[in-house]
Amino acid sequence: MLRKFYIVLSLVLIASFALAACGPTATEAPVAEETEAPVAEETEAPAVDAGPKVLNVWSFTNEIRTMAIAYEGKNPDVDVIYTMIPMTDGEYQTKVKAAVGTADAPDVVALEAAFVKEWVESDLLMDLNELLPYTEELQTYPAVVEVGTNDGVSKAFSYQATPGAYFYRRSIATECLGTDDPAEVQAMVADIDKFVETAAKIHDCGTGDYFAVGTAGAMFNPFLANRAQPWIVDDTLVFDPMVNEYVDFAKMMRENGYESQAGQWSEGWFAGMNDTLVDANGTPKKIFSYFLPTWGLPYVLIPNSTSDNTDTGGDWAMINGPLAYQWGGTWVGVLDTAPNAELAKDFVRFVALDEENLTNWATGVYTNDYLKAIDPETPDDQQQPSGDFVSSQVVVEKIASSFDDSDLAKWLGGQNSYTAFAKAAPSVNGKLMTGSDDAIQRALQSALEQYLNDEVTKEEMWPIWLDSVRNEFPDLVIPELPADFME
């Protein structure tokens, strides 16, 4: 009896193996069936109410939720179901990838700069070329369109342009450099050599308690933005001289004590923004400057400039810094499988290419009260403060002067950040971005940290990085390292 059972069991096993071998289509079917139920539940409820058109939007922050509610205000027959999944360690990317091809895949996805290219280069996003006329009308910054385009097909657009800037503390500048005037300070950090000289001055003037920057990692983006070639050309990894220069630069900054060793997004890095950075001995430390892009001002620097006892607001100034760069940004695209393509496209148009929406977005029209009037269930902290830098040159030029007397300007000691960003935005380069940047750069930073902490030598650092790259990109050709990378 038992033997018979085993025979049957093993036959079932073989059969199931054969079934699995039928191909990927066979593997997808059960997933789809499995996930159909919950989606039906979600969409059923509103469908009963008034039969609105439903749009599923996934994002990694709550920013776009504001626009989703505004969109519902303009289109009462549409119900936007908004899902926020954080992306701290890549959860969002994983979740979206896992949902692709299943019934609970979203219609519209938000794509961050770090991974937008992967998607634009894939076949999973819908062709949105029909929205291109709007970009001409609004004079969307070329880099923004370029990033969302692959082989002449535009698949994602952004409401933001994200040129980078350099923010410094006026009080420390006056104390150590003799002036806090933006033009004069810009001259002192005009290129990397001058920046290093100034960093040394800041260090000596604060007798080691002042740091030029929180971490040399802050200049990773600016250095990489000035490479000649992207990371991958013709399936081959490119070792741009800028990469080596950055590694040496970061090491020099660490060895000379020009940086506080507080990594980006770490507690110490934030503490420096409001003068509460204290080292292990209890000695207070100060950080002179931060490299942050447009969104860094309203979302990072200003919210972190106050602590219980300190407030550095008004003590900041903004200049271009040593290198032009861009950092981050959120694009929106439509998944190829979206059942209501027209609606989804219209949502993307509204989010990224609608003059009124972009104006409202940047000028603080979308207050919590405004959103609550449309959707009473809006969370209390959902709103859009003014000051985000939008992707349309037309809108930027119209609203830039309105920030002359704004709270933002007061925070920057009277400088209008919007006008400053508007000058930097057109020169931003979108050509260097590829779908593999995120993984390659994260692996490099991980290996570099080892080198900065003297855990490995520079020669040992490169293989640590390249092993990781090779394992994540099986088909990538990795050439020999140039000789000068070893010096």
Binding site for another protein (CB under 8 A): 1, 12-13, 16-17, 19-21, 24, 27-28, 30, 89-90, 93-94, 97-98, 100-101, 115, 118-119, 121-124, 261-263, 266-268, 271, 277-282, 435-436, 438-439, 442-443, 446-447, 449-450, 453, 455-456, 464, 467-468, 470-474
Q: Is 100 or 132 the residue whose CB approaches another protein more closely?
A: 100
What does DSSP assign to residue 126? P
Contact 217, 264 (CB under 8 A): yes
Q: Which phi and psi angles does 214 have, rounded to 5°? A: -65, -45
Measured in whole angstroms, the distance separating CA 84 from the mean position of its chain's CA atoms is 15
Q: Is 73 or 263 the residue whose CB approaches another protein more closely?
A: 263
211 bridge partner residues = 287
Contact 460, 195 (CB under 8 A): no
166 bridge partner residues = 291, 319
Distance of closest approach, residue 460 Cβ to another protein, in angstroms: 9
Query: What is the C-alpha separation between 54 and 77, in angstroms, rounded?
Result: 9
Q: Is 257 or 328 the residue whose CB approaches another protein more closely?
A: 257
State both tokens at 29.
Answer: 């079917």
**Beta strand 236-237 pairing with 232-233:** antiparallel
Distance of closest approach, residue 44 Cβ to another protein, in angstroms: 26
Q: Is 328 or 385 the residue whose CB approaches another protein more closely?
A: 328
Distance of closest approach, residue 276 Cβ to another protein, in angstroms: 10
Distance of closest approach, residue 248 Cβ to another protein, in angstroms: 19
Distance of closest approach, residue 274 Cβ to another protein, in angstroms: 14
Distance of closest approach, residue 137 Cβ to another protein, in angstroms: 32
Query: What is the C-alpha separation between 146 and 144, in angstroms, rounded?
Result: 5
Distance of closest approach, residue 129 Cβ to another protein, in angstroms: 21
Q: Which phi and psi angles does 111 have, rounded to 5°? A: -130, 125
Contact 83, 39 (CB under 8 A): no
Sorted by sequence, the CB contacts under 8 Å of residue 213 that are 6+ apart come out as: 199, 219, 253, 258, 259, 260, 287, 288, 289, 290, 291
Q: Is 16 or 427 the residue whose CB approaches another protein more closely?
A: 16
Instruction: Mark residue 110 as left, alpha or beta (left: phi above 0; alpha: psi -120 to 50; beta: remaining).
Output: beta
Q: Is 263 or 413 the residue whose CB approaches another protein more closely?
A: 263
Distance of closest approach, residue 178 Cβ to another protein, in angstroms: 30
- Residue 378, number of CB atoms within 10 A of its CB: 18
Q: Is 115 or 421 the residue whose CB approaches another protein more closely?
A: 115
Angle at 357 between CA 355 and CA 116, to 5 degrees: 90
Q: Where are the extended beta strands (E) located within 200-284? A: 210-213, 232-233, 236-237
Distance of closest approach, residue 445 Cβ to another protein, in angstroms: 8
Q: Is 108 or 173 the residue whose CB approaches another protein more closely?
A: 108
Q: Is 409 or 476 the residue whose CB approaches another protein more closely?
A: 476
Q: Which residue has the tokens 């919950």?
A: 38
